[in-house]
Structure 1
Amino acid sequence: MIDYHFFPLSESSLMLIYPNKIDVHENTFIQQLAQTLQHTTEISGITSVIPGYATLTVNFDLLQIDQATLRTQLTKQMHLLETTITSTQRIIDIPVCYDEEFGPDLQAVADFGHLTIADLIQLHTQQTYFIFMLGFLPGFAYMGSVPDQIAMPRLATPRKTLAAGSVGIAGQQTGFYPVVSPGGWRLLGRTPLKLYDPKRPQPRYHAGDYIHFYSVDRHDFDEIYQADRAGAFQLQIHQRIGDHS
């Protein structure tokens, strides 16, 4: 069992807190526990669950369950999950155009890592990134972990406006901006995919998935952009069995 402790946020909210670190195995457990609690009929009174990097907040109805009983039931579910947790990983391929127009911080991050821009792109695309949680903006995925060599801190002063689809890094995190917004992450490129659609509020990826970025040129960017907006682009999704390491 992963170390944890309970913290009462309020009379009707209980937070499950794990060691405060970015850990794939720990976050995978939190995500699967959240999914279990959303669908279980074993515990009455749960109104919502909110997973974070290393926390799980459980909101509940005091008229249906008290906090002491909820703690007992949660502990039971956690022990059961430890023996049944799955290791199937979903990997989603996301195209990115690493053009300097789309990635104004490419040179700065390359200099930070003592790399050429080509080597930086190769380093950013050669691995998969685990989605720890969604937040900040609809569909904004917090992913990790970026190789130490290019884990450049975020900008001291955020930009006022970033284009939807912008892909960047902030320390050991990488992510994409699903809608136009301000932001302080170091921008490396842009994906032509429409990451968030208010008509389809559930994004095509979720916490617990892995993202693999692959590089496309400006011509491919424009073609994928048009195809995706027309509903004709097929997102590539793979499955693998892994150890969450």
Structure 2
Amino acid sequence: MVADIDGATLAPARLAELAALDVARLPLLDGALRYGAPVARISKLVCIGLNYSEHAAESNMPAPSEPIIFLKAPSAICGPNDDTIVPLGSSRLDWEVELGVVIGAVGRNVAEDRALDVVAGYCVVNDVSERAFQMQSSQWDKGKGCDTFGPTGPWLVTKDEVPDPQALAMKLTVNGKTMQDGNTSTMIFGVRQLVSYVSRYMTLMPGDVIATGTPSGVGMGQKPDPVWLKPGDVVELEIAGLGRQRQTVVEYR
């Protein structure tokens, strides 16, 4: 038996059937295509806060001495091009382009020098945030976990295709204007450190995703005044080699 990325198993006969599949003979689907998240049954989306010093500064918070962990609800996860729904009572809707690390094997107390052994690959994540909700208490989860606040994908790019996850350009625009233009090289805590650190406190399961923080340029940090997303805005974000997302902000429905 062979385990796939979401923890299910494939019998040898099924593997042989898939290997013999003639893609050219598959039917074409009519209508617009929708991409879902590239990983099925994600048990947890673990997020890292303030992991870029410039973002910590624009947030008027000190750079952390160790990783800040919070979680997004699995119900927040959606496809990379799905609409972002403004939650009821929202007044400060914001964006955050982030590198997602997709876990491919069970990881518990993983040593830093072995951390990439449990990584399957990488993807783009938008850590959509409602800052008014987020700042109502010391716990950030309710400002981070609303429906559609976790666009993921479009691709899961396997780690063999990403020689150095600490050298990836990342960019986000709102209505065509560049708001974030950064690089994973400026993370405070790198991918190996984060995987190892998180695995001390919770078992990482195949299909779990760690969103590794965002560079400067979020709406909350704009000068002279913050910029918040509103219905009709279009957010586009990409990370080199990992693909591109596009979300339209819509009213609650």
**With CA pairs under 8 Å and 6+ residues apart, which has the higher RCO, 1 or 2?**
2
> What TM bracket, shorter-length normalisation?
under 0.3
| TM-score, normalising length: structure 2 | 0.26
Structure with the larger helix share: 1
| TM-score, normalising length: structure 1 | 0.26
